[in-house]
Structure formats: structure tokens, C-alpha cells
Amino acid sequence: MGRTQRRNLLNNVMLALTGVCTFLTVAVLFVILGFLLWNGFRSLDWNFFTKLPLSPGETGGGLANAIVGSGITILIAVVIGVPVGFFGGVYLAEFGGKTFPMFVRYTADLLNGVPSIVIGIFAWTVVVVPMHTFSAWAGGFALSLMMIPIGLRSTEQFLRAIPSSMREGSLALGATKTQTIMKVIVPAARQGILTGLILGVARVAGETAPLLFTSLNNQYWSEKLTEPTATLPVMIYKLAISPYDDWHRQAWAAGLVLLGLVLIANIAARWVLARGAAVQRG
Amino acid sequence: MAGTAIIAAPPQPAAQKFIKRLRDGDKAAHLITLIFAASVFLVTVFLIFELWIHSSASRGKFGLGFLFTTTWDPNAENFGALPFIYGTVLTSFLALLISVPLAVGAAIFLSELAPPKLSNTCTFLIELLAAVPSVIYGLLAIFTLVPLMRSYVEPFLKKTLGFLPLFKGPAYGFGYLTAGLILAIMTFPFIISISRESLLSVPREQREAALALGATKWESTWQVVVPYARLGIIGSIFLALARALGETMAVTMVIGNDTTIHSSLIAPGYTIAAIIANEFAEATSDIHHDALVELGLVLFLITIILNASAQLLILATTKKGSKRD
């Protein structure tokens, strides 16, 4: 075989291999979706949404308390995390000087990279230890810490993308800086900011590790925010590692619901962003 | 003239007051947003402080030896971190060994060969993989990957490579190799999407020059484009490594929870994140909690160093790309 032929052969083989790599990685997604749809739909029924978990051996229980618990902890996370992320982002984009915003940006990236289990430890030390109880508050606080960096950086990024002519136009009409920000800049960037919010919620909705020893788990309804609270991700974990078939069935159903919500949120975020871009161009 | 001036004068202080109030509003807004931005900074500093304080008992009792001893006995209150550090490093290393060739190959295909529409669709699908919660990876791993490893892959490895110490012992399905495999799948999206970005930011001229010199498409890609984007690719691998080291749920569900060190890849083991996840809520003694917090501190330090280096590398390539464009 000649040199040219060898080079061409190598070319074709290697390029084909990169195609195989792509196929394999994309195939993983479809395998995951397929398994979850197959096992999830077989297990999903109306009881899942309305009943409490039952003891092993009984069939027909559900995870209603975990669905509500997840909603509550995420709501707490949004209430704490969104203002910090939003106003912090406004500061970085509109008010900040040079040095201090750089520090904030750096620490936000650092916080974003902290392993979720370590976030859980932190929430345990500052909420669970002083309150002497596992609680929805602690879980929500842990999740809010994971939302803040996403909200902060996306708010900043989308505010910065607004052309400075809009700021100058508003200031030239006599508006103050605050009026300019609240009535001109933020509305113009609202799609991007909304996207950041949705992505933040989607990220924390599936987090398990920070909740393991903050909101813990609960077989029953939690009546107060200061009680251990069941959440969907922690339930999936506990049910999946249990030895009971009926609990495994519940885990698949819960996995399907959780993944469905997370993927829908992600696709919705992209859709909002794409529509925003289309509106601005049009 | 003077009369009109006197008549016109009264509204002016009011208007000035109004404008002053607005200006003060700007100051207030500045201050409020500053407080929120500063809180991000303070919370992160406080996080490090709390990890340090709450690990004091363990740091005082075991010192640096904590990192190099292998006993983990909560009843005797004797703690050493080595089995967990070993497991964390080993599983992450296995993950990268599997995912780097596949993911970089896919990134090359998506940036160099695939038509833009196919490339964007595939990237979108792969980025969705990054959004799948880790507990769901764990759920799938327990019920699909573990039985597969136990019945087929591990017996096969033992039969063909069993003479190596790496593949000795019974095939449980739970262990370092299974954890590495699920971590590999979880790191695909990070490596692919960032590597693809850095490959795409390589200027066209680089490719054209190589092709004009008679290089084949592969030679131009492998010898010119990939080296040009190497910092970004290495950055993406660092980022993936940081994710893999800190990953908790999926690993906890398949690692097998064994606090001894095994040389065999198919043996059960433990990782830092997994031991914290399993024991933290049940730990009763202070020293047990402190030892777990210290493990968290170790994990935190490793991941922030990796993350910082990854960001510097990625920044370096994107800067280089845009400068020469």
C-alpha cells in the first residue's frame, strides 16, 4: 500500500471513528430516556400523585408528600436565591467598579463549582445545628446556594448584552439611573433573566446530595417548615437502594416525573431565549 | 424681570428636592444591590470558615495523618481518609480514561465534519444530558448497568484479563469500575460542549493552510486544529474531572460501600462524597461529624483548585482565538 493510500485510509478510519463517538454519546441519552419511559410509565398511576408512601409489602402507595415537599423546598430556594442573584447581577452589570465585581464574579464561579454534598454540609452547620432539627428551611437554604451563582451570572450577562445606546437614550430623557435600570434595561433583558431563573430551578430540582442531611426525609406529610420534609430526589434514592420491588416501581415513576419536569424546564428556557432573540431581531 | 424671578423662584427648591430625592434613590439602589452582591462573596467566605471550624476536633486529633491512614472505625472513633481519597481519585481517573477519547472524538466530529444543523441538534441533545439529575443516573445504573456488569462485563474481564490483579475477586456488579463508567457518561456533556466551542473558535485560515499544504482532512484536524484548541480541551477535561470528583448520588448508589482499599477494579469501594452521603445524617459523636466535615473540606479544596485552573485554560484559548480572528 502506497503512502498516499495509507494516509487516505487513516483519514477515513479516524473520521469515521469520530462519527462513532458522537453516535455513542448521543445514543446514551436515548437509552436513558427509553429505559425511564418504559419503566416509569409501567409504574405510574394516579395513586402516585395522591397517596402517601406505604410500608414494604403493601402495594398502591404514592409519593404525594414528596411532590409537595419538593415544591416547598424549591419555593424557599427561589425566595432566598432569586433576589440575591438578581440584585447582585444588577450590581455587577450596572453599578460595579472594577476590583470588587471581579471578586464577586470569582467567588460566584467558585460557589458554582463547590460539590453539592459540601453545600449540604454548610447548610447543616448554619441551619440544622442552630435549629436542632432537620427542616424544609435547611433544604431550601442549601438549594438557594446552588441557584445564586446561576442567577447572578445570567442576570449580569444579559444586562450587559443590552446596547449602551438604550441606557444613554433613557438618561438623556432625564430618567435617573434607577429608573433607567428598572424601566428600560431590565425589561429589555427580561427573556434572558427568565431563562436564568428557569435553568436555576431546573438545576436544583434534581439535586439530592444537599438535601440528604438538611431536609432529610419523611414518610408522612410535614405540617411545618421546621420538620423533616420528603422530597422527590431523596425519595428516589431511598426507594432505589431498598430491597423491595414495589418501592423500585415507585422509584421509576418518581424518576420519570422528575426527569420530565427537568427536561421540560430546560427546553422551555431555550425556547424563551430563542423567542426573545427573534423578537429583538424582528 | 426681578418680579418674575421672585414668582418663579418657589418651585425651584421643590424641584431640586425632588431631583435630590431621585439621586438619593440611585444611591439607595446602589447600596441595596451592593449588599446583595457582597452577600455572595461573604457566604462563600463563610462556607470555608464553617468547614474549617466544624472540622477542628478531627484536625486536632489526627493532624495530617488523617489523609494517610486507612482505618475508618466510628465505634472506636478512629478515622483515616485514605480509602475514600483513593476511591475518589480512582473512579474519576477511570471515568476520564473512558470519556476523554469518546468525548473529544465526538467534539471533533461536531465541529469539523457534521453539517451545522446536525451539529447543533446533537449538541443540544448532549447538553440535555448535563441536565439529567445525578440521582436518575444512579437509578438507571443500579437497575441496568450493575446487572450488566455482574453478569457479562466483569466475568468477561476476569476470563480474559483475570491474570492481572486489576480484575480479581468476585463480580458483584457494584464497585470502582461501575462507578467510573457512570461517571464517564456524566462527564460527556461537559467535555463535548466546551471542546466543541474551542475547536470552533480556531480560525479558518489554520485549516485552509494545512489543507493547502496537502494534508488530509484528518491530518489538518489532528495536527493543526486540535493542538491550536488544546488549552480549551484540557480546560474542559479539568472541569469534567472536578465534576467527577464531587459527584455524589450516582456514585454512592453503585460504589458498593466498602471502607477497605482494593487493588481490583471490580471490587467494591468508597468515595469521599459517598461516605459523607451515607454517614452524615446518622453520625452521633462529634468527632465522627468533624471527620466527615474534614473530608468535605478536602473535597472542596481539590475541586476549587481544579475549577480555577480549568477556567484559566478555557479563558486562555477563547482569548487567543478572538485575538487572531
CATH 1.10.3720.10 fits B60-324, yes or no: yes
Contact predicate B283/B199, CB 8 Å: no
Provide, as residue numbers in chain B, all residues whose Cβ is less than 8 Å from the Cβ of A145: 43
Provide the CA B233 distance to its chain's centre, in angstroms: 15
Going from N- to C-terminal start, the domains of chain B cover: 13-53, 60-324
Contacts of A237 in chain B (CB under 8 A): 135, 138, 249, 252-253
Q: What is the ipTM for the molecules in this complex? A: 0.92
SS3 annotation, B272-305: HHHHHHHHCCCCCCHHHHHHHHHHHHHHHHHHHH
User: How crowded is the C-beta side of A262, counted as CA atoms within 13 Å?
Assistant: 26
Is the CB of A107 inside 8 Å of chain B's CB atoms? yes
Give the tens place of pLDDT for each residue, B265-309.
999 999 999 999 999 998 888 899 999 999 999 999 999 898 888
Residue A191, min C-alpha distance to chain B (Å)? 19
Determine, for residues A259 and B246 on separate chains, whether the beta-carbon distance falls below 8 Å: no
Q: Which helix (H) or strand (E) holds A118?
A: helix A116-123
Question: Is there a contact between B106 and B88 (Cβ–Cβ < 8 Å)?
Answer: no
Signed CA dihedral, A249, A250, A255, A257: sign only: positive
- CA–CA separation, A14 vs A8, rounded Å? 10
- Residue numbers of A between 61 and 100 with CB closer than 8 Å to B: 83-84, 86-88, 90-92, 94-96, 100
Residue A233 φ/ψ, nearest 5 degrees: -60, -45
Q: Report the residue from A26, A125, A262 with minimal CB separation from B126.
A: A26
pLDDT tens per residue, range A181-210: 999 999 999 988 999 899 999 999 999 999
Tens-digit pLDDT profile for residues A136-161: 999 999 999 999 999 999 999 999 99
pLDDT tens for the 282 residues of chain A, in order = 788 899 999 999 999 999 999 999 999 888 888 999 999 999 888 988 998 988 887 777 889 999 999 999 999 999 999 999 999 999 999 988 888 998 899 899 999 999 999 999 999 999 999 999 999 999 999 999 999 999 999 999 999 999 999 999 999 998 889 999 999 999 999 988 999 899 999 999 999 999 999 999 998 999 899 999 999 999 999 999 999 988 999 999 999 999 999 999 999 998 888 887 666 554
| B110 with A94: Cβ contact below 8 A | no
Q: Given an 8 Å threshold on Cβ–Cβ distance, is A213 in contact with B304?
A: no
Top residue of B40, B53, B126, B272 to mutate, by most chain A CBs within 10 Å, is B40
| Those residues with Cβ within 8 angstroms of residue A222's Cβ, 6 or more apart along the chain or in another chain | A65, A69, A72, A136, A228, A229, A230
Task: Mark yes or no for CB contact B304/A94 under 8 Å.
Answer: no
State the Cα angle at A44 between A43 and A45, rounded to 5°: 120
Taking the CA atoms of residue B220, residue B222, residue B227 and residue B228 in that order, the dihedral angle to the nearest 10 degrees is 40
Selection from A232, A220, A239 nearest residue A256 by Cα: A232
